[in-house]
Amino acid sequence: MLATIRGRDYDEMIELWKTDPNIRLSSADSRDSIRAFLRRNRGMSLKIVESRRIVATVLCGWDGRRGYLHHLFVRADSRRRGHGAALVDEACRRLAAKGIAKVHIFVLPGNETGQAFWRASGFFRRPETDVLLYSKDLE
């Protein structure tokens, strides 16, 4: 069953994400930060629940111009059943309903499986000469 992520899902989600080496966790993934993200982007982040446990997640947000997807995760024993595609499709549908015309994702360079998934989902990798990502820690 596809449903909206709630703050009370945090403990179960963080334990799932810790099992995936392709999800890099940081202080931005603290309980308070995730709850703030969910409040700011109410109704956008999604989960799939089977047998009363979360088997897939995607955090979805927007800044008024662009959409962003984070932490797409599907449990290993639930893969190859369309869960990832269902989450991405619904997240993109919700972004489009907000008037968002473009969505971005962040993928670790060594995550070949993830890169293949995103290509198959209609996403394209931006050329390295197109945009470079710079970050600054504010904490």
pLDDT digits (tens, 9 = 90+) for 93-134: 999 999 999 999 999 989 999 999 999 999 999 888 778 778
pLDDT tens per residue across span 34-80: 999 999 999 999 999 999 999 999 999 999 999 999 999 999 999 99
SS3 labels along the chain: CEEECCHHHHHHHHHHHHCCCCCCCCHHHCHHHHHHHHHHCCCCCEEEEECCEEEEEEEEEECCCCEEEEEEEECHHHCCCCHHHHHHHHHHHHHHHCCCCCEEECCCCCCHHHHHHHHHCCCCCCCCCCCCCCCCCCC
> Where exactly are the structural domains of the chain?
2-120
Q: CATH number for 2-120: choose from 3.40.630.30, 1.10.10.10, 2.60.40.420, 2.30.30.40.
A: 3.40.630.30
